[in-house]
């Protein structure tokens, strides 16, 4: 049983290489999901916020946001909390790029222990894990498509 021809979408820009292949409906969903990041990577000033299936309908405080998405404990907890803070800033606050100070602000709001070396953790999440991508200048970050996909999968709505 054939579903029809496969649809392929390829996008390459400085620091971003994406390829989606599958049914046309699947590819359209992925392009819609990553539109904000594609526009940013292409240098287009976006009027749309990142769209995710887990995007809240109303503005939430960081505490409310975290209450719905409990952070991991133990190994990997700091990285998950950093990603969660950046996800909140990118998706809920619609802030395209986030600094280390923004992350620390979220940590204070959630009353989480401050990372011992935040900039090292951000570098690992960018270079080794691939969940962050560099912003328009040094010290600014945003979730990469892989990071957004990771968090969407981790905190899927019930």
CATH code at position 77: 1.10.10.10
- Structural domain of residue 144, as residue ranges? 62-154
Residue 107 lies in a domain: yes
Q: Is 80 exposed, middle or buried (0-12, 13-18, 19+ CB in 10 A)?
A: buried
Q: Is 121 exposed, middle or buried (0-12, 13-18, 19+ CB in 10 A)?
A: buried
Residue 8 lies in a domain: no
Pairing of strands 132-134, 140-143: antiparallel
Residue 147 lies in a domain: yes
- The domain tally of the chain equals 1
pTM value surpassing 0.85: no
23-67 per-position pLDDT tens digit: 887 778 777 777 776 676 666 655 555 544 444 445 678 888 888
Residue 76 lies in a domain: yes
What is the C-alpha separation between 55 and 27, in angstroms, rounded?
Answer: 20
31 Cβ partners below 8 Å, 6+ apart?
A: 9, 20, 38
92-122 per-position pLDDT tens digit: 888 999 999 999 999 999 888 899 999 999 9
């Amino acid at each position: 049983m054939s579903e029809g021809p496969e649809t392929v979408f390829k996008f390459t820009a400085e620091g971003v290489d994406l390829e989606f292949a599958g049914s046309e409906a699947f590819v359209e969903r992925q392009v819609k999901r990553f539109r904000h990041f594609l526009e940013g990577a292409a240098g287009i000033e976006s009027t749309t916020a990142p769209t995710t299936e887990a995007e809240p309908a109303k503005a939430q405080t960081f505490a409310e946001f975290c209450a719905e998405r409990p952070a991991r404990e133990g190994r990997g907890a700091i990285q998950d909390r950093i990603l969660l803070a950046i996800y909140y800033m990118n998706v809920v606050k619609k802030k395209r790029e986030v600094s280390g100070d923004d992350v620390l602000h979220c940590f204070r709001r959630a009353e989480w222990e401050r990372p011992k070396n935040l900039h090292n953790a951000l570098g690992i999440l960018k270079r080794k894990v691939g969940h962050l991508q560099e912003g328009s200048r040094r010290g600014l970050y945003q979730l990469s498509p892989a990071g957004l996909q990771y968090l969407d999968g981790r905190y899927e709505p019930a």
